[in-house]
Chain A
Protein backbone atom coordinates (compact mmCIF):
# COMPACT_ATOMS: atom_id res chain seq x y z
CA UNK A 1 0.00 0.00 0.00
CA UNK A 2 1.39 3.42 -1.02
CA UNK A 3 1.17 6.09 1.67
CA UNK A 4 -0.54 9.40 0.85
CA UNK A 5 1.05 12.50 2.39
CA UNK A 6 -0.87 15.77 2.64
CA UNK A 7 0.14 19.34 1.84
CA UNK A 8 0.34 21.38 5.03
CA UNK A 9 -1.72 24.55 5.30
CA UNK A 10 -1.64 27.24 8.00
CA UNK A 11 -4.97 25.92 9.31
CA UNK A 12 -3.65 22.35 9.55
CA UNK A 13 -0.51 23.50 11.35
CA UNK A 14 -2.53 25.59 13.84
CA UNK A 15 -4.86 22.63 14.51
CA UNK A 16 -1.94 20.26 15.17
CA UNK A 17 -0.20 22.75 17.47
CA UNK A 18 -3.31 23.51 19.53
CA UNK A 19 -4.59 19.94 19.82
CA UNK A 20 -1.02 18.78 20.43
CA UNK A 21 -0.71 21.20 23.35
CA UNK A 22 -4.04 20.25 24.91
CA UNK A 23 -3.43 16.53 24.32
CA UNK A 24 -0.01 16.88 25.93
CA UNK A 25 -1.48 18.72 28.92
CA UNK A 26 -4.01 15.93 29.49
CA UNK A 27 -1.36 13.22 28.94
CA UNK A 28 1.00 14.79 31.43
CA UNK A 29 -1.81 14.81 33.99
CA UNK A 30 -3.70 11.53 33.50
CA UNK A 31 -1.11 9.47 31.58
CA UNK A 32 -2.85 9.40 28.22
CA UNK A 33 -4.90 11.56 25.91
CA UNK A 34 -4.86 13.36 22.62
CA UNK A 35 -4.76 10.38 20.28
CA UNK A 36 -8.53 10.12 20.06
CA UNK A 37 -8.72 13.67 18.66
CA UNK A 38 -5.44 13.79 16.74
CA UNK A 39 -5.93 10.65 14.67
CA UNK A 40 -9.40 11.55 13.31
CA UNK A 41 -8.23 15.17 13.06
CA UNK A 42 -5.35 14.23 10.76
CA UNK A 43 -7.68 12.04 8.73
CA UNK A 44 -10.05 14.98 8.27
CA UNK A 45 -7.07 16.93 6.83
CA UNK A 46 -6.75 14.26 4.17
CA UNK A 47 -4.13 11.94 5.70
CA UNK A 48 -4.92 8.26 5.24
CA UNK A 49 -5.90 6.34 8.39
CA UNK A 50 -2.66 4.41 8.54
CA UNK A 51 -0.49 7.56 8.14
CA UNK A 52 -2.54 9.31 10.85
CA UNK A 53 -2.09 6.38 13.27
CA UNK A 54 1.63 6.03 12.44
CA UNK A 55 2.35 9.76 12.77
CA UNK A 56 0.39 9.94 16.02
CA UNK A 57 2.45 7.06 17.43
CA UNK A 58 5.66 8.79 16.35
CA UNK A 59 4.82 11.85 18.46
CA UNK A 60 3.46 9.72 21.32
CA UNK A 61 6.65 7.95 22.38
CA UNK A 62 8.91 11.03 22.65
CA UNK A 63 6.08 12.90 24.38
CA UNK A 64 5.65 10.02 26.85
CA UNK A 65 9.41 9.95 27.39
CA UNK A 66 9.54 13.65 28.28
CA UNK A 67 6.45 13.31 30.51
CA UNK A 68 7.79 10.20 32.26
CA UNK A 69 11.14 11.90 32.86
CA UNK A 70 9.44 14.94 34.34
CA UNK A 71 7.19 12.92 36.61
CA UNK A 72 10.13 10.70 37.58
CA UNK A 73 11.72 13.87 38.99
CA UNK A 74 8.67 14.17 41.24
CA UNK A 75 9.09 10.55 42.42
CA UNK A 76 5.85 9.41 40.78
CA UNK A 77 7.05 6.87 38.17
CA UNK A 78 7.50 3.18 38.93
CA UNK A 79 9.81 2.28 36.05
CA UNK A 80 9.84 -1.44 36.93
CA UNK A 81 6.02 -1.63 36.97
CA UNK A 82 5.87 0.28 33.69
CA UNK A 83 8.34 -2.04 31.98
CA UNK A 84 6.66 -5.20 33.34
CA UNK A 85 3.27 -3.94 32.13
CA UNK A 86 4.77 -2.89 28.80
CA UNK A 87 6.07 -6.41 28.17
CA UNK A 88 2.61 -7.95 28.11
CA UNK A 89 1.13 -4.78 26.59
CA UNK A 90 3.36 -5.42 23.58
CA UNK A 91 1.81 -8.88 23.20
CA UNK A 92 -1.64 -7.30 23.56
CA UNK A 93 -0.92 -4.78 20.81
CA UNK A 94 0.35 -7.54 18.53
CA UNK A 95 -2.70 -9.77 19.00
CA UNK A 96 -5.12 -6.83 18.97
CA UNK A 97 -3.68 -5.56 15.68
CA UNK A 98 -4.10 -9.02 14.16
CA UNK A 99 -7.70 -9.18 15.39
CA UNK A 100 -8.41 -5.70 14.00
CA UNK A 101 -7.01 -6.79 10.64
CA UNK A 102 -9.27 -9.88 10.65
CA UNK A 103 -12.33 -7.73 11.47
CA UNK A 104 -11.44 -5.33 8.63
CA UNK A 105 -10.94 -8.22 6.20
CA UNK A 106 -14.21 -9.97 7.09
CA UNK A 107 -16.51 -7.00 7.69
CA UNK A 108 -14.86 -4.12 5.77
CA UNK A 109 -13.96 -0.61 6.93
CA UNK A 110 -17.46 0.11 8.32
CA UNK A 111 -17.48 -3.17 10.25
CA UNK A 112 -14.08 -2.36 11.71
CA UNK A 113 -15.17 1.17 12.68
CA UNK A 114 -18.36 -0.20 14.26
CA UNK A 115 -16.30 -2.67 16.32
CA UNK A 116 -13.92 0.10 17.46
CA UNK A 117 -16.79 2.43 18.39
CA UNK A 118 -18.66 -0.31 20.25
CA UNK A 119 -15.46 -1.17 22.17
CA UNK A 120 -15.04 2.53 23.02
CA UNK A 121 -18.61 2.87 24.29
CA UNK A 122 -18.69 -0.34 26.37
CA UNK A 123 -15.23 -0.03 27.95
CA UNK A 124 -15.26 3.71 28.53
CA UNK A 125 -18.80 3.80 29.94
CA UNK A 126 -18.22 0.95 32.39
CA UNK A 127 -14.74 1.98 33.51
CA UNK A 128 -15.53 5.71 33.34
CA UNK A 129 -18.59 5.39 35.61
CA UNK A 130 -16.61 3.27 38.07
CA UNK A 131 -13.75 5.80 38.20
CA UNK A 132 -16.22 8.72 38.46
CA UNK A 133 -18.01 7.12 41.40
CA UNK A 134 -14.71 6.56 43.19
CA UNK A 135 -13.49 10.09 42.40
CA UNK A 136 -16.69 11.62 43.81
CA UNK A 137 -16.40 9.52 46.97
CA UNK A 138 -12.75 10.57 47.36
CA UNK A 139 -13.74 14.19 46.79
CA UNK A 140 -16.40 14.01 49.54
CA UNK A 141 -13.99 12.25 51.86
CA UNK A 142 -11.27 14.85 51.24
CA UNK A 143 -13.77 17.63 51.97
CA UNK A 144 -15.12 15.98 55.15
CA UNK A 145 -11.78 14.83 56.60
CA UNK A 146 -9.51 17.42 55.00
CA UNK A 147 -7.26 14.53 54.00
CA UNK A 148 -5.48 13.94 50.70
CA UNK A 149 -4.59 10.35 51.41
CA UNK A 150 -5.84 7.78 48.95
CA UNK A 151 -7.13 4.49 50.30
CA UNK A 152 -6.42 1.26 48.47
CA UNK A 153 -9.53 -0.21 46.86
CA UNK A 154 -10.77 -3.42 48.49
CA UNK A 155 -10.25 -5.38 45.27
CA UNK A 156 -6.62 -4.26 45.11
CA UNK A 157 -6.18 -5.24 48.77
CA UNK A 158 -7.37 -8.75 47.85
CA UNK A 159 -5.02 -8.87 44.84
CA UNK A 160 -2.11 -7.83 47.05
CA UNK A 161 -3.03 -10.54 49.57
CA UNK A 162 -2.80 -13.34 47.00
CA UNK A 163 0.57 -15.08 47.39
CA UNK A 164 1.55 -17.23 44.42
CA UNK A 165 5.08 -18.56 45.00
CA UNK A 166 7.56 -17.78 42.25
CA UNK A 167 5.41 -15.03 40.72
CA UNK A 168 5.53 -12.29 43.38
CA UNK A 169 7.02 -8.96 42.35
CA UNK A 170 7.74 -5.91 44.48
CA UNK A 171 7.34 -2.43 43.01
CA UNK A 172 9.06 0.02 45.33
CA UNK A 173 7.80 3.35 44.00
CA UNK A 174 4.20 2.12 43.78
CA UNK A 175 4.75 0.46 47.19
CA UNK A 176 2.95 -2.69 46.14
CA UNK A 177 3.78 -6.38 46.07
CA UNK A 178 1.64 -8.39 43.66
CA UNK A 179 1.80 -11.54 41.60
CA UNK A 180 2.93 -11.19 37.98
CA UNK A 181 -0.15 -13.26 37.19
CA UNK A 182 -2.14 -10.05 37.79
CA UNK A 183 0.20 -7.56 36.10
CA UNK A 184 0.57 -9.66 32.93
CA UNK A 185 -3.14 -9.81 31.97
CA UNK A 186 -3.57 -6.14 32.91
CA UNK A 187 -0.69 -5.14 30.63
CA UNK A 188 -2.10 -7.40 27.93
CA UNK A 189 -5.54 -5.73 28.19
CA UNK A 190 -3.86 -2.29 28.03
CA UNK A 191 -2.09 -3.26 24.80
CA UNK A 192 -5.22 -4.85 23.37
CA UNK A 193 -7.20 -1.66 24.00
CA UNK A 194 -4.37 0.48 22.65
CA UNK A 195 -4.42 -1.42 19.36
CA UNK A 196 -8.23 -1.17 19.20
CA UNK A 197 -9.02 2.38 20.29
CA UNK A 198 -5.48 3.85 20.45
CA UNK A 199 -5.83 4.84 24.11
CA UNK A 200 -4.59 1.94 26.24
CA UNK A 201 -4.31 4.21 29.27
CA UNK A 202 -8.08 4.10 29.73
CA UNK A 203 -7.57 0.51 30.97
CA UNK A 204 -3.98 0.75 32.18
CA UNK A 205 -4.44 3.63 34.65
CA UNK A 206 -7.69 2.43 36.32
CA UNK A 207 -6.24 -1.12 36.30
CA UNK A 208 -3.11 -0.06 38.18
CA UNK A 209 -5.24 1.86 40.69
CA UNK A 210 -8.09 -0.57 41.33
CA UNK A 211 -6.47 -3.92 40.53
CA UNK A 212 -2.90 -3.47 41.71
CA UNK A 213 -3.40 -0.76 44.35
CA UNK A 214 -1.11 1.97 42.99
CA UNK A 215 -2.04 5.57 43.78
CA UNK A 216 -3.57 7.64 40.99
CA UNK A 217 -0.39 9.74 40.87
CA UNK A 218 1.86 6.69 40.40
CA UNK A 219 -0.56 4.96 38.02
CA UNK A 220 -0.95 7.96 35.71
CA UNK A 221 2.82 8.59 35.74
CA UNK A 222 3.72 4.93 35.16
CA UNK A 223 1.30 4.76 32.23
CA UNK A 224 3.70 7.13 30.43
CA UNK A 225 6.41 4.41 30.55
CA UNK A 226 3.99 1.93 28.96
CA UNK A 227 2.96 4.52 26.36
CA UNK A 228 6.63 5.15 25.54
CA UNK A 229 7.39 1.46 24.93
CA UNK A 230 4.20 0.83 22.93
CA UNK A 231 4.64 4.03 20.92
CA UNK A 232 8.27 3.21 20.12
CA UNK A 233 7.48 -0.32 18.94
CA UNK A 234 4.42 0.86 17.00
CA UNK A 235 6.41 3.61 15.26
CA UNK A 236 9.09 1.12 14.22
CA UNK A 237 6.46 -1.24 12.83
CA UNK A 238 4.82 1.52 10.75
CA UNK A 239 8.17 3.09 9.72
CA UNK A 240 9.19 -0.24 8.22
CA UNK A 241 6.27 0.21 5.81
CA UNK A 242 7.05 3.92 5.21
CA UNK A 243 3.86 5.28 6.82
CA UNK A 244 5.30 7.83 9.28
CA UNK A 245 4.82 11.45 8.21
CA UNK A 246 7.62 13.01 10.26
CA UNK A 247 6.30 16.54 9.58
CA UNK A 248 2.92 15.80 11.17
CA UNK A 249 4.52 13.95 14.08
CA UNK A 250 6.98 16.74 14.89
CA UNK A 251 4.32 19.44 14.56
CA UNK A 252 2.16 17.67 17.13
CA UNK A 253 5.25 17.22 19.30
CA UNK A 254 5.96 20.96 19.12
CA UNK A 255 2.74 21.77 21.00
CA UNK A 256 2.49 18.63 23.09
CA UNK A 257 5.85 19.00 24.86
CA UNK A 258 4.73 22.37 26.22
CA UNK A 259 1.51 20.68 27.36
CA UNK A 260 2.99 17.57 28.91
CA UNK A 261 5.43 19.54 31.06
CA UNK A 262 2.60 21.71 32.32
CA UNK A 263 0.34 18.68 32.95
CA UNK A 264 3.12 16.91 34.86
CA UNK A 265 3.73 20.00 37.01
CA UNK A 266 -0.03 20.21 37.51
CA UNK A 267 -0.14 16.82 39.27
CA UNK A 268 1.88 18.29 42.13
CA UNK A 269 -0.67 21.06 42.75
CA UNK A 270 -3.94 19.14 42.83
CA UNK A 271 -5.55 16.70 45.21
CA UNK A 272 -5.19 13.09 44.01
CA UNK A 273 -8.90 12.63 43.29
CA UNK A 274 -8.59 15.28 40.55
CA UNK A 275 -6.64 12.82 38.38
CA UNK A 276 -9.45 10.27 38.72
CA UNK A 277 -12.09 12.94 38.12
CA UNK A 278 -10.47 14.25 34.92
CA UNK A 279 -9.87 10.69 33.66
CA UNK A 280 -13.52 9.75 34.27
CA UNK A 281 -14.88 12.93 32.66
CA UNK A 282 -12.81 12.48 29.52
CA UNK A 283 -13.66 8.78 29.27
CA UNK A 284 -17.40 9.44 29.54
CA UNK A 285 -17.44 12.32 27.04
CA UNK A 286 -15.44 10.23 24.55
CA UNK A 287 -17.90 7.35 25.09
CA UNK A 288 -20.77 9.69 24.11
CA UNK A 289 -18.77 10.81 21.07
CA UNK A 290 -18.31 7.25 19.84
CA UNK A 291 -21.93 6.30 20.62
CA UNK A 292 -23.07 9.08 18.27
CA UNK A 293 -21.36 7.52 15.24
CA UNK A 294 -22.58 3.96 15.81
CA UNK A 295 -25.77 4.61 13.73
CA UNK A 296 -23.54 5.89 10.89
CA UNK A 297 -21.57 2.65 10.71
CA UNK A 298 -24.77 0.58 11.07
CA UNK A 299 -26.09 2.56 8.08
CA UNK A 300 -22.93 1.83 6.06
CA UNK A 301 -23.36 -1.86 6.83
CA UNK A 302 -27.00 -1.50 5.67
CA UNK A 303 -28.29 -2.64 9.04
CA UNK A 304 -30.04 0.72 9.45
CA UNK A 305 -31.41 3.38 7.11
CA UNK A 306 -29.84 6.77 7.71
CA UNK A 307 -30.08 9.83 5.45
CA UNK A 308 -26.78 11.39 4.33
CA UNK A 309 -27.33 14.76 6.13
CA UNK A 310 -28.11 12.93 9.36
CA UNK A 311 -24.95 10.85 9.02
CA UNK A 312 -22.88 14.00 8.40
CA UNK A 313 -24.46 15.68 11.42
CA UNK A 314 -23.72 12.70 13.68
CA UNK A 315 -20.10 12.52 12.48
CA UNK A 316 -19.64 16.25 13.09
CA UNK A 317 -21.22 16.04 16.53
CA UNK A 318 -19.04 13.05 17.38
CA UNK A 319 -15.84 14.94 16.50
CA UNK A 320 -17.06 17.98 18.41
CA UNK A 321 -17.61 15.82 21.51
CA UNK A 322 -14.07 14.44 21.24
CA UNK A 323 -12.62 17.93 21.02
CA UNK A 324 -14.87 18.89 23.97
CA UNK A 325 -13.50 15.96 25.99
CA UNK A 326 -9.97 17.29 25.67
CA UNK A 327 -11.03 20.90 26.19
CA UNK A 328 -13.02 20.09 29.35
CA UNK A 329 -10.09 18.04 30.67
CA UNK A 330 -7.64 20.87 29.99
CA UNK A 331 -9.98 23.45 31.53
CA UNK A 332 -10.39 21.43 34.74
CA UNK A 333 -6.63 20.74 34.98
CA UNK A 334 -5.66 24.40 34.55
CA UNK A 335 -8.43 25.48 36.95
CA UNK A 336 -7.30 22.97 39.58
CA UNK A 337 -3.68 24.05 39.14
CA UNK A 338 -4.53 27.71 39.59
CA UNK A 339 -6.54 26.87 42.70
CA UNK A 340 -3.72 24.64 43.98
CA UNK A 341 -1.13 27.39 43.49
CA UNK A 342 -3.11 29.69 45.74
CA UNK A 343 -3.13 27.15 48.60
CA UNK A 344 -0.28 27.02 51.14
CA UNK A 345 2.42 24.35 50.60
CA UNK A 346 1.58 20.84 51.85
CA UNK A 347 3.09 19.16 54.95
Chain B
Protein backbone atom coordinates (compact mmCIF):
# COMPACT_ATOMS: atom_id res chain seq x y z
CA UNK B 1 0.00 0.00 0.00
CA UNK B 2 1.20 3.49 -0.71
CA UNK B 3 1.85 5.19 2.55
CA UNK B 4 2.04 9.00 2.44
CA UNK B 5 4.83 8.94 5.06
CA UNK B 6 6.97 6.69 2.83
CA UNK B 7 6.83 9.08 -0.09
CA UNK B 8 10.16 10.75 -0.87
CA UNK B 9 8.98 14.36 -0.78
CA UNK B 10 12.28 15.74 0.60
CA UNK B 11 14.41 13.97 -2.02
CA UNK B 12 11.94 14.98 -4.72
CA UNK B 13 12.22 18.66 -3.79
CA UNK B 14 16.03 18.51 -3.43
CA UNK B 15 16.69 16.81 -6.78
CA UNK B 16 14.00 18.91 -8.43
CA UNK B 17 15.69 22.09 -7.24
CA UNK B 18 19.10 20.99 -8.51
CA UNK B 19 17.59 19.97 -11.87
CA UNK B 20 15.73 23.29 -12.19
CA UNK B 21 18.98 25.15 -11.45
CA UNK B 22 20.86 23.18 -14.12
CA UNK B 23 18.22 23.89 -16.76
CA UNK B 24 17.97 27.54 -15.72
CA UNK B 25 21.74 27.99 -16.07
CA UNK B 26 21.74 26.22 -19.45
CA UNK B 27 19.06 28.43 -20.95
CA UNK B 28 19.96 31.69 -19.17
CA UNK B 29 23.42 31.51 -20.75
CA UNK B 30 22.25 29.63 -23.86
CA UNK B 31 24.51 31.36 -26.39
CA UNK B 32 27.65 31.25 -24.24
CA UNK B 33 27.06 27.62 -23.31
CA UNK B 34 26.58 26.66 -26.96
CA UNK B 35 29.74 28.52 -27.98
CA UNK B 36 31.84 26.80 -25.30
CA UNK B 37 30.28 23.34 -25.68
CA UNK B 38 30.93 23.24 -29.43
CA UNK B 39 34.64 24.08 -29.17
CA UNK B 40 36.74 21.26 -30.60
CA UNK B 41 40.12 22.06 -29.02
CA UNK B 42 41.61 20.57 -25.86
CA UNK B 43 39.20 18.83 -23.54
CA UNK B 44 36.18 20.90 -24.63
CA UNK B 45 34.56 17.94 -26.51
CA UNK B 46 34.17 16.27 -23.08
CA UNK B 47 31.90 19.09 -21.87
CA UNK B 48 28.66 17.82 -23.52
CA UNK B 49 29.34 14.38 -22.05
CA UNK B 50 30.02 15.77 -18.56
CA UNK B 51 26.86 17.90 -18.78
CA UNK B 52 24.79 14.92 -19.94
CA UNK B 53 26.00 12.89 -16.95
CA UNK B 54 25.29 15.76 -14.52
CA UNK B 55 21.78 16.32 -15.91
CA UNK B 56 21.01 12.60 -15.98
CA UNK B 57 22.11 12.01 -12.36
CA UNK B 58 20.08 14.91 -11.04
CA UNK B 59 17.06 14.71 -13.35
CA UNK B 60 17.13 10.89 -13.40
CA UNK B 61 16.88 10.85 -9.60
CA UNK B 62 14.14 13.51 -9.70
CA UNK B 63 12.00 11.58 -12.19
CA UNK B 64 12.46 8.39 -10.16
CA UNK B 65 11.21 10.13 -7.00
CA UNK B 66 8.47 11.83 -9.04
CA UNK B 67 6.84 8.53 -10.08
CA UNK B 68 7.48 7.12 -6.61
CA UNK B 69 5.70 10.08 -5.01
CA UNK B 70 2.78 9.56 -7.39
CA UNK B 71 2.59 5.94 -6.26
CA UNK B 72 3.73 4.52 -9.61
CA UNK B 73 6.09 1.79 -8.41
CA UNK B 74 7.40 -1.45 -9.83
CA UNK B 75 5.72 -4.73 -9.13
CA UNK B 76 8.20 -6.83 -7.12
CA UNK B 77 7.90 -10.09 -9.10
CA UNK B 78 10.12 -10.63 -12.18
CA UNK B 79 8.99 -13.22 -14.72
CA UNK B 80 11.17 -16.26 -15.29
CA UNK B 81 11.81 -18.38 -18.37
CA UNK B 82 10.79 -22.03 -18.41
CA UNK B 83 13.88 -23.83 -19.78
CA UNK B 84 16.50 -25.61 -17.75
CA UNK B 85 19.11 -22.85 -17.76
CA UNK B 86 18.62 -22.08 -14.06
CA UNK B 87 21.49 -24.37 -13.22
CA UNK B 88 24.03 -21.94 -14.69
A217 touching B78 in the complex, CB below 8 Å, given contacts A240-B40, A262-B72 = yes
B67 within 8 A of A: yes
Contact B88 A176 (CB under 8 A): yes
Binds B, one of A185-193, A196-204, A243-251: A243-251
Considering the chains assembled together, what is the distance between the CA atoms of A260 and B37 in angstroms? Answer: 26
- Residues of B within 8 Å of A5, CB to CB, are 34, 38
- Residues of A within 8 Å of B72, CB to CB, are 262, 265
Interface residue tally for chain A (C-beta within 8 Å): 63
Contact A347 B52 (CB under 8 A): no
Contact B85 A175 (CB under 8 A): yes
A239 within 8 A of B: yes
Interface residue tally for chain B (C-beta within 8 Å): 42
Binds B, one of A62-70, A85-93, A127-135, A284-292: A62-70
Contact A235 B48 (CB under 8 A): yes
Residues 16-42 of B at the A interface (beta carbon under 8 Å): 23, 26-27, 30, 33-34, 37-40
Contact B27 A59 (CB under 8 A): no
Considering the chains assembled together, what is the distance between the CA atoms of A175 and B74 in angstroms? Answer: 22
Using a Cβ cutoff of 8 Å, how many contacts connect chains A and B? 150
A257 touching B60 in the complex, CB below 8 Å, given contacts A175-B86, A244-B37 = yes
A215 within 8 A of B: yes
Contact B78 A253 (CB under 8 A): no
B24 to chain A, nearest CB (A): 12
Contact B52 A265 (CB under 8 A): no
Beyond A61-B52, A235-B48, A260-B63, 13 additional contacts (C-beta under 8 Å) are A5-B34, A149-B81, A177-B85, A236-B49, A239-B40, A239-B49, A246-B37, A247-B30, A247-B34, A253-B52, A261-B60, A262-B72, A346-B79
Closest 3 pairs (CB-CB, A-B): A62-B56, A149-B82, A66-B60
**What are 7 pairs between A and B in contact, CB < 8 Å?**
A65-B56, A66-B63, A157-B83, A175-B85, A240-B40, A253-B52, A268-B78
Residues of chain B touching chain A, judged by Cβ–Cβ distance below 8 Å, are: 23, 26-27, 30, 33-34, 37-40, 45-49, 51-53, 55-56, 59-60, 62-64, 66-67, 72-83, 85-86, 88
